[in-house]
Amino acid sequence: MLSLLYFILCSYGLTQILCFSKFLDKVRPNYYFFTCPMCMGFWSGAFLWGINKYTELFTFEYSAANLLILGCVASGTSYTVS
């Protein structure tokens, strides 16, 4: 349960940095996808799922179902909190 909370916090933070950081303004493309927390949240969650074997904060089984579920969790929380 705690690993899911860590995952949500990490995906939210990554989404905020990718969508709204002034630091990335010069390199961020001007497409809606790159400023939408729901869209970017999904891919942030998918990215974190993909690298979860390199961290001890959260560990999820590598399966297509987990990829979809964690992407949706990250997308929903990023959108809701934003």
Instruction: Say what the pLDDT of residue 38 is.
Output: 95
- Mean pLDDT computed over 8-27: 93
Instruction: Say what the pLDDT of residue 82 is.
Output: 86
Most confident of 20-24, 29-33, 56-60, 67-71: 67-71
Write the CA distances from 44 to 12, 22, 28, 80, integer angstroms: 8, 18, 15, 15
Angle between helices 2-20 and 37-50 in degrees, nearest 10:
130
Helix (H) or strand (E) holding 4: helix 2-20
Q: Please tell me the pTM assigned to this model.
A: 0.89
Residue 30 confidence class, pLDDT cut points 50, 70, 90: confident
pLDDT tens digits, 34-78 = 999 999 999 999 999 999 999 999 999 999 999 999 999 999 999
Write the CA distances from 25 to 6, 40, 45, 47, integer angstroms: 27, 15, 22, 21
Structure tokens at 16: 């905020």
Q: How far apart are CA 14 and CA 33, in angstroms?
A: 15
